[in-house]
Amino acid sequence: TDYNDLYCLFTLVQFTKAGQFFSSGHTNNWAVLVCTSRFWFNYRHVANTLSVYRSVKRLGIPDSHIVLMLADDMACNYRNPKPATVFSHKNMELNVYGDDVEVDYRGYEVTVENFLRVLTGRLPPSTPRSKRLLSDDRSNILIYLTGHGGNGFLKFQDSEEISNMELADAFEQMWQKRRYNELLFIIDTCQGASMYERFYSPNLMALASSQVGEDSLSHQPDLAIGVHLMDKYTFYLLEFLEEVHPASQANMNDLFKVCPQSQCVSTPGHRTDLFQRDPGSVLITDFFGSVRKVEITKDTINLTSPVEPPIQRSGSGDIQIESLTYVDQLPVAEIIHQKPKQKDWHPPDGFILGLWTLILLVFFQTYGIKHLKHIF
Amino acid sequence: MAAHRCGLSLVFILIFSSLACPSSCDALEKANENTGEKQSVSDTPREVNTDGSIAAEDLNERQWQSTDVEVDRSDGTKDSESFTAAAARDQFQEELVIRPLHSGDIYASFQFRTLWDIDFLQERQKVSHYRLFPKSLGQVLSKFSVRELHISFTQGFWRTMQWGQPFIPSPPGAELWVWFHDTVSDVDGNWKELTNVLSGIFCASLNFIDLTNTVQPSASFKPLGLGNATDHRFLRYATLPREIVCTENLTPWKKLLPCGSKAGLSVLLKSEKLFHSSFHSQAVHIRPVCQDEQCTSKAWELRQTLNVVFDLYTSSQGKKEWSLFKMFSRTLTEACPLATSSKIYVDITDNPEGELFELNPVTPLLSQAVVLGDRRTYSVFDLTRAETFGQLCSLNLLLRWKGDSGDMLRPLLHAERYVAGFGLQTGEIHTVIYNNHPYRAFPVLLMDSVPWYLQLYIHTLTVTSKSRDNKPSYIHYQPAKDRHRPHLLEMLIQLPPHSMTEVTVQFERALLKWTEYTPDPNHGFYVGSSVVSALVPSMVAMNTNFTQDQPLFSSFVPVKEESSYFVRVYTEPLLVNLPTPDFSMPYNVICLTCTVVAVGYGSFYNLLTRTFQVDEPSLPLEKRLANLIRRIRGVPLLA
């Protein structure tokens, strides 16, 4: 009986492990990382976004599944004493810009309209794939926003705002179009908790760096660069994420404990009532990483026949015998004697003059010749 | 006894390590052979391995001819035959030219060329097997029926007076010009989709190119590739002077190279060094070229060029000593295995006896080339030979200056542009073109594309040379249409020898609608560079023959006649302030108006409608009782 009990316990443990393995229900991961501030003194917002980008890439999400939006260029800004770098720690320890970054929306393209179009998928047909969020109903999406915000809004590029209601409606559109399986929303701005107050779609989990009425503070300035390098919340979030590796079992409860008030001065908040699973059973890598589940099969699959080779150009040799030439780069004689372009049609010369003469003659014919002497 | 044993073991270790070191080089070469074998898809690896005992150099030589030589010798199955047909048709060459400049800076120009013997339009079947040519660009070419594509991203401005002429010029920001095939019916639609697709490929905001900044030059941009018909309705040109270039543009550019950034010259492309420079420009040029000397059929050429000028003070701390490690923070260890030729050229024309600077390592290979109207001598380092890398298996070129270089020869053609005037209403654009040739006059074609919000007054256009009026022999002007089309002005001006020509035109600044302002409107609005194209008389006879062995940097522009060479000079872009409204104005106005209305209107209303009534004082108790009784009786009340 001892052995029986042990055996039952063992299988129970295995089943919960297996259950956890299949509990998340997602097959692919996407990330939308947005920095909404412009100007050199908002360096820290770009550094925030790039730190999350770096962690997400490190944990496995490829560039094709990341939509990175940076509202201004800090790395190659003329004020940057070290071009092509964006540092996140003081004393320039960590270059989060890296060597193979791919920014999808940059500069003036980061607007409220483009952000909402990316989320809802309503983009013009000529938009390239790298700028689209091609998620389906089994995608887990991570959305990270940072910038300057207030109670109920987030500022984009110092000229327009997005309100919490618009964001909630966008997420509802995504839910109705089945564009996500689960969504994790992180925001690092002042009064960030106001942005997730209005969410009403299922399977949403939200984290914010500060409550309503509180300001999110920046971490530390760097005297060489001259600006603050990062915000406190994202600094501690980056420290936490550097410990995470693709096989780690850290769950969301650990993420909620990042940056308590003693470190962050503001109180980070989170919202899990719309989320169906228990946060303790949600792995960090469910959203930040791209852990593939592999199914092993023993069936053989027949590959299709190879590509047809292109037809040899044996026949075309007869047709073109004359040699091709390069074009003259500045054919002066040709340019001077170029035929004038098709201009708009104008009536022939003197036509207007003749028309007015005719009108005057008809006028004087009708009303009598005696009026002529008033003119001459 | 123990010390004796230690000593013996030390000796053994020393002998072992000295044996190991040279053999490590061989191991590297064997690794190269192996990768080379893997590239050629054939089933004869066994053949090559048995020959491994032959001197490594011979093997390498045989290897570095196009790999299809071995492939042809195979008598494999049908599959390898089909791969033969496709694999033999493209080849890749890479080269780096290092030119020390008179100001102490150094100019490095990378060129990577892929030549593919295929015709996208003639082959009725879809091209599906891409080997060296990148698939993303191939699909773009066939989908949009592109005949020629030139795109460049530049950070910084090329200073012609200090640095001379670049091999491949480019304006600051992004520039894109495309020749479409004459089978295209809707050129504007294709152009719009092409810009969107390219913005995705290069991670740039090229989708801001639309009809408000696209022009159709009528004479300036002739095709650089093969072709007969030059109907300018199929040409589109646009620049984005505001476009930033950073690592995110370099990353996809590097991914287009066959060796990526893993082998060959492209390992030197480190973004932290490349962007910490005075000038950085990366470009992609695609055009049809002659396949061979008879020029009976076309081949596609993809050239990726990267020009960078390293500043003496920021990159070298003021010391006139340059090396590959100092410039790129890396040395070279091998050539790209997929390249048929991989060379470094160092310009030593100013250093014939070695009195100006010293070049290490010394190489016996020298080459002369006529480029930009001048005969220059180059030291050549062939990376496909193993002995270039020496004992340490790495190549680090070192240039150490010994003496001071004299003055630079003034470039023959130079142009400047600036905005004159004051205030936010009107202004004047001045373009100054210098002809520094002592006795020859030559014509130049000036192309100006000005956005619609600077309304040009063309009746104020003046062209003066040597303080006399100079009438252009050809003027093409297309006026702007508000919010639809920019101004296009093209003029063919004859420049007298040793003179300065000034072109001035006045303009008025428009007031934009408030939604059309950028988020930072007080920065100003950019006007793209002017393009000056000219055939400059050359001091040395140019080479008009097309040969395959010409170095890449001298064979970019096709040469038609010996006495002159074609050059394009870009002027500075302009930064113009438009009258900008105060965007906090509506908020302030509302606050002020509401306050005034509340205070002023409230008082005014009271003044008009308020009436005053005398209030009766309250009566004492006995009078109130008396009033009560009187009211019951129906008798008039007391006061």
- Between chain A and chain B, the number of residue pairs with CB atoms below 8 A apart is 174
Residue A264 designated active-site = no
Calculate helix-pair angle for A112-120, A164-176, nearest 10 degrees: 20
- Shortest CA gap B248–chain A (Å): 5
In a domain, B173, yes or no: yes
Final residue of a structural domain among B350, B376, B401: B401
Question: Per the structure, how many domains does chain A have?
Answer: 1
Supply the pLDDT for residue B103: 84
pLDDT tens-digit series, residues B453-474: 999 999 999 999 998 999 999 9
- Would the pLDDT of A254 be above 60? yes
In a domain, A183, yes or no: yes
Residue A148 designated active-site = yes
- Locate the DSSP E strands across B156-278: 173-180, 214-215, 235-240
Question: Which H or E element spans position B107?
Answer: strand B106-116
pLDDT tens-digit series, residues B7-32: 555 555 555 555 544 444 444 444 44
B397 and B432 together in one domain: no
In a domain, B532, yes or no: yes
In a domain, A62, yes or no: yes
Q: Among the options A26, A45, A65, A190, which is catalytic?
A: A190
B222 CB neighbours in chain A (<8 A) are 327-331
In a domain, B616, yes or no: no
In a domain, A108, yes or no: yes
B395 and B456 together in one domain: no
- Would the pLDDT of B150 be above 90? yes
Q: Average pLDDT of B355-377?
A: 86
Question: Which H or E element spans position B380?
Answer: strand B374-382
Q: Average pLDDT of A19-45?
A: 85
- Average pLDDT of chain B is 83
Question: Per the structure, how many domains does chain B have?
Answer: 2
- Would the pLDDT of B104 be above 60? yes
A332 CB neighbours in chain B (<8 A) are 443, 492, 535
B299 and B433 together in one domain: no
In a domain, A69, yes or no: yes
Q: Average pLDDT of B37-51?
A: 39
Burial B158-192 (b: 16+ CB within 10 A, else e): bebeebbbbbbbbbbbbbbbbbbbeebeebeebbb
pLDDT tens-digit series, residues B223-268: 998 887 778 899 999 999 999 999 999 999 999 999 988 899 999 9
B86 CB neighbours in chain A (<8 A) are 309-310
Q: Quick check: A108 and B208 CB within 8 A?
A: yes
B48 pLDDT tier (thresholds 50, 70, 90) = very low
- Would the pLDDT of A180 be above 70? yes
Q: Roughly how many angstroms between the first and final C-alpha of chain B, as a whole number? A: 141
Supply the pLDDT for residue B334: 87
In a domain, A10, yes or no: no
Interface probe with A: pick from B123, B248, B522, B542, most Cβ of A within 10 Å: B248
Q: ipTM of the assembly?
A: 0.81
In a domain, A14, yes or no: no
Contact between B383 and B335 under an 8 Å Cβ cutoff? The reply is yes
Contact between B326 and B20 under an 8 Å Cβ cutoff? The reply is no
In a domain, B46, yes or no: no
- Would the pLDDT of B155 be above 90? yes
Supply the pLDDT for residue B178: 96
Supply the pLDDT for residue B370: 87
Specify the range with the lowest mean pLDDT, choosing from A115-119, A131-135, B586-590. Answer: B586-590
Contact between A133 and A67 under an 8 Å Cβ cutoff? The reply is yes
- Shortest CA gap B3–chain A (Å): 46
Final residue of a structural domain among B365, B380, B401: B401
Supply the pLDDT for residue A343: 66
A105 → chain B, closest CA residue: B205
CA distances for A257 relative to A34, A246, A267, B563, angstroms? 23, 20, 11, 76
A89 pLDDT tier (thresholds 50, 70, 90) = confident
What are B112's strand-pairing partners?
A: B94, B304
- Would the pLDDT of B78 be above 80? no
In a domain, B52, yes or no: no
pLDDT tens-digit series, residues A189-230: 999 999 999 999 999 999 999 999 888 888 888 888 889 999
- Would the pLDDT of A177 be above 60? yes
Q: Would an 8 Å CB–CB cutoff place B76 in contact with chain A?
A: no
Closest CA to B495 of B475, B457, B459, B468: B468
Supply the pLDDT for residue A19: 52
Supply the pLDDT for residue B32: 41
pLDDT tens-digit series, residues B181-228: 988 999 999 999 999 999 999 999 999 999 999 999 998 899 998 887
B297 and B387 together in one domain: yes
Helix (H, G, I), strand (E, B) or coil at B455: strand
Q: What percent of chain A has pLDDT over 90?
A: 54
Q: Which of A38, A76, A130 sits opposite B244 (nearest CB)?
A: A76
For the record, the structure tokens of B438 come out as 């002592």
Distance between CA atoms of residues B176 and B491, nearest Å: 21
In a domain, B115, yes or no: yes
Closest CA to B505 of B471, B550, B543, B455: B455
Distance between CA atoms of residues B529 and B170, nearest Å: 10
Supply the pLDDT for residue B340: 92
Specify the range with the lowest mean pLDDT, choosing from A261-265, B172-176, B506-510, B523-527. Answer: A261-265
B224 CB neighbours in chain A (<8 A) are 326, 329
Supply the pLDDT for residue B28: 40
DSSP B536-602: EEPSS-------TTS-GGGSSSPP--SSEEEEEEE---EEEPPP---TTHHHHHHHHHHHHIIIIIH
Interface probe with B: pick from A326, A334, A337, most Cβ of B within 10 Å: A326
pLDDT tens-digit series, residues B507-518: 999 999 988 999
B451 and B555 together in one domain: yes
Final residue of a structural domain among B373, B401, B429: B401
- Would the pLDDT of A345 be above 90? no
Distance between CA atoms of residues A45 and A147, nearest Å: 6
Backbone angles phi, psi at B143, to 5 degrees: -70, -40
Supply the pLDDT for residue B550: 81
A100 → chain B, closest CA residue: B251
Structural domain harbouring B130: 91-401
- Would the pLDDT of A107 be above 80? yes
Q: Would an 8 Å CB–CB cutoff place B82 in contact with chain A?
A: yes
Q: What percent of chain A has pLDDT over 70?
A: 84
- Would the pLDDT of B1 be above 70? no
A14 pLDDT tier (thresholds 50, 70, 90) = low
B79 CB neighbours in chain A (<8 A) are 306
Question: Is the whole model's pTM more than 0.90, yes or no?
Answer: no
B contact residues 83-112, partner A, Cβ 8 Å cutoff: 85-86
Burial B125-147 (b: 16+ CB within 10 A, else e): eebebbbbbbebbbebbeebbbb
In a domain, A304, yes or no: no
pLDDT tens-digit series, residues B270-303: 999 999 999 999 999 999 988 777 777 788 899 9
B418 and B515 together in one domain: yes
Residues 6 or more apart whose CB falls under 8 angstroms from that of B60 comprise B29, B32, B33, B384, B385, B386
Contact between A181 and A26 under an 8 Å Cβ cutoff? The reply is yes
In CATH, what number is assigned to the domain containing residue B460?
2.60.40.740
Q: Which of B272, B296, B518 sits opposite A323 (nearest CB)?
A: B296
In CATH, what number is assigned to the domain containing residue A182?
3.40.50.1460
Supply the pLDDT for residue B541: 83
- Shortest CA gap B31–chain A (Å): 27
In a domain, A334, yes or no: no
